[in-house]
Chain A
Amino acid sequence: MNYFEQINQSEHQSLLQEIEDSTRALNVSRRSFLKTLGISSGLVLAVKIPVSNASPMKWAVGAKKDGEFSPSAYLRISPDNTVTVICHRSEMGQGIRTSIPMLIADELGASWESIKVEQALADQKYGSQNTDGSRSIRRFFSPLREAAATARWLLLEAASQQLKVPADQLECKDTFVMKKSGDKKIAFGDLIEAASNLELPPKEKLTFVTDSQSKYVNKSSSVELVDGHGFVTGTALFGADVQLPDMLVAVIARPPVLASKVKSFDEKAAKKVSGVVSVIKMDDLSLPAAFKPLGGVAVLAKNTWAAMEGRKKLNIEWELSEHKSHSSAKQKEALKESAKNADKVLRNFGDADKAIKDAKYTHTSEYYVPALIHAPMEPPMATAHWKDGVMNIWASTQAPQGAQQTVAQLTGVKPENIKVHVTLLGGGFGRKSKADFVAEAAILSQKSNKPVKVFWTREDEIQQGYYHAESYQILHAAWDKQKILAWKHQVSEPPIGSTFAKDTKHIAGEANLGLLDMPYDIPNVICANGAAEAHHRIGWLRSVTNINHAFASCSFIDEIAHKLKQDPKDYLIKAIGKDRHIDLTKQQADYGNYGEDIQLYPIDTSRIKAVIEKVAENSKWGSKRPKNRYLGIAAHRSFVAYVASVVEVEKTSEGKIKLTNVWLVSDSGTIVNLDRVKSQMEGAVVFGISLAFFGKVTFNEGAVQQSNFHDYEIARIKDIPPTHVDVMINDHPPSGVGEPGVPPIAPAICNAIFAATGKRIRELPLNEQNILA
Chain B
Amino acid sequence: MITLKVNGKQHKIDVDPDMPLLWAIRDLLNLTGTKYGCGMALCGACTVHLDGKPTRSCVLPVSQAEGKTVTTIEGISADGEHPVQKAWQSIKVPQCGYCQAGQIMSAVALLNDNKNPSEDEIKDAMSGNLCRCGTYQRITVAIKNAANEMTE
Contact = CB atoms under 8 A, between A and B. Distances in A.
Contacts of A238: 32, 35, 97-98
Interface string B24-51: 0011101111111111101101000000
B140 to A, nearest CB: 7
B54 interface: no
A425 B127 CA distance: 23
Interface stretch (A129-137, A228-236, A630-638): A228-236
A304 B26 contact: yes
The binding surface of chain B is classed by DSSP as loop
Contacts of A235: 33, 74
B65 interface: no
Contacts of A95: 95
Among A234, A376, A458, A720, max chain B CB count under 10 A is at A234
A683 B133 contact: yes
Interface in B104-147: 104, 122-123, 126-127, 129-140
Contacts of B97: 93, 227, 230-231, 236, 238, 424, 426
Contact of B40 (A303, A708, A716, A718): A708
B132 A682 contact: no
B4 interface: no
A9 to B, nearest CB: 31
Interface string B84-112: 01001100101111111100100000000
A227 B36 CA distance: 20
Interface residues of A, number: 62
Given A233-B85, A679-B138, A720-B136, A426 B98 contact: yes
B74 A234 contact: yes
Contact of B99 (A227, A377, A686): A377
A305 B20 contact: yes
Contact of A709 (B43, B104, B135): B43
Q: Which of A230, A233, A425 gathers most chain B CB within 10 Å?
A: A233
Nearest to A274: B16
A675 interface: yes
A328 B28 CA distance: 42
A708 B27 CA distance: 23
A694 to B, nearest CB: 12
Interface string A457-478: 1100000000000000000000
A275 B24 CA distance: 13
Contacts of A427: 95-96, 98, 132-133
A431 B139 CA distance: 25
B77 interface: yes
Interface string A423-452: 011111100000000000000000000000
B137 A682 contact: yes
A714 B88 CA distance: 22
Contacts of A306: 16
Contacts of A93: 94-97, 133
13 contacts: A95-B95, A233-B79, A235-B33, A237-B32, A426-B98, A428-B96, A679-B92, A682-B134, A683-B135, A686-B131, A716-B127, A717-B123, A720-B136
Closest 5 CB pairs of A and B: A234-B33, A686-B134, A426-B98, A93-B95, A93-B96
Given A303-B27, A305-B23, A709-B43, 12 more contacts: A228-B89, A229-B80, A232-B80, A232-B100, A237-B32, A240-B35, A274-B16, A304-B36, A682-B134, A708-B38, A709-B38, A720-B136
Interface of B: 16, 19-20, 23, 26-28, 30-40, 42-43, 45, 72-74, 76-80, 85, 88-89, 92, 94-101, 104, 122-123, 126-127, 129-140
